[in-house]
Amino acid sequence: MACAVVLALVLAGLGAASAQAAQPVELAAPYEYLGWGNPQPPASVIAATPIKDITLAFVLSHGKCEPQWDGSRPLEGGSDQTAIEAIRAGGGDVDVSFGGWSGKKLGSSCKTPEALAAAYQKVISAYGLAAIDIDIEHGEFTNKKTRRRVVAALQIVQRANPQLEISITFGTAEDGPESAGVDLIEDAAAIGFQPSVWTLMPFDFGAPVANMGQASIRAAEGLASQLSARYGLSSAAAYAHVGISSMNGKTDESDETVSASDFGAILSFAQAHHLARLSFWSVNRDRPCAGGKKNEADSCSGIAQQPYEFTDLLAQYHG
């Protein structure tokens, strides 16, 4: 009997470990940017919260189609590799994000889909990645030729790494993707490429928004509708490719604030529709501002909150 009990406990433990391992790395991995904002050591985030995975940003171009962290720090042998190793030693994993708003983008520097795919692959191979995020913004997003190059390169990468999780992250209007976003989806569908998830960034709308939770939900609904139309998917299948990456606290717009209550509403929506990804920008900001300051956009949220309040909420998301 004792042996049977021990065996049952072992099997139960193995089952739990398998269930945990089965959760996609990008499913609930908040962004952290190590380039500014007095970032917390990523391993300390893993230790202090229930979150296990982190999206580290950003890989950019160093010269001609050469990927480096922020376009200036080496892939291997530097502080970023040390951070990744520490996250993994703590039982977590990383989703590496390419792009962002600032800096020189690989999609623009690499002049062919094959060259761009090779740049992505260099990073994937350097770290043995299970997940990548292409945060396509600014010139990468607005230039039609570059957008097409990005999706063509990602199709090459997907074929070479069929188990790789791929997120494409981009801005949105309140009712869903704007014209550049719609074109991006159309270009991908036209060549038969479907990433793991299309992730919207529902903030910085440019007009006053009273309820950022509901605005984010409306944008995600609009994205699901676009995916249904472009890929011929059912509503449930479309939502299985939808992601939301919010911004915690004050956004770049003075009249926008994503409260913990807003993020809770987004979380409930994600749970109800089994979204492929839920994230936010950023862990750096997931703390109140010191000394009564209203906002330090790169290092605190600008709202009254508990440290890691948004990270703790995100950790509740399991698809």
Q: Are strands 53-61 and 67-69 parallel, antiparallel or unpaired?
A: antiparallel
Please provide the DSSP assignment of 163-212 as one string: T-EEEEEEE-BTTB--HHHHHHHHHHHHTT---SEEEEE----SS--S-H
What Rg do the C-alpha atoms of the chain give, in angstroms?
A: 19
Whole-angstrom distance, CA of residue 159 vs CA of residue 124: 13
Q: Would you state the structure tokens that stand for residue 256, as one six-digit string?
A: 């926008």
Does the active-site annotation cover 140? no
Give the ranges where the chain is alpha helix by DSSP (H): 2-22, 42-48, 79-89, 106-109, 113-127, 138-142, 144-160, 179-190, 212-231, 235-239, 260-273, 309-314
Contact 246, 211 (CB under 8 A): no
**Cα–Cα distances in angstroms (integers) from residue 260 to residues 70, 175, 263, 318, in the given order:** 30, 22, 5, 18
Whole-angstrom distance, CA of residue 276 vs CA of residue 132: 14
The single residue of 26, 32, 137, 140 carrying the catalytic annotation is 137
Residues 6+ apart with CB under 8 A from 226: 176, 177, 181, 182, 185
- CB neighbours (10 Å) of residue 260? 18
Whole-angstrom distance, CA of residue 121 vs CA of residue 117: 6
**Cα–Cα distances in angstroms (integers) from residue 304 to residues 32, 98, 260, in the given order:** 20, 31, 10
Residue among 155, 92, 87, 81 nearest 120 (CA) = 155
As annotated, the active-site residues are: 137
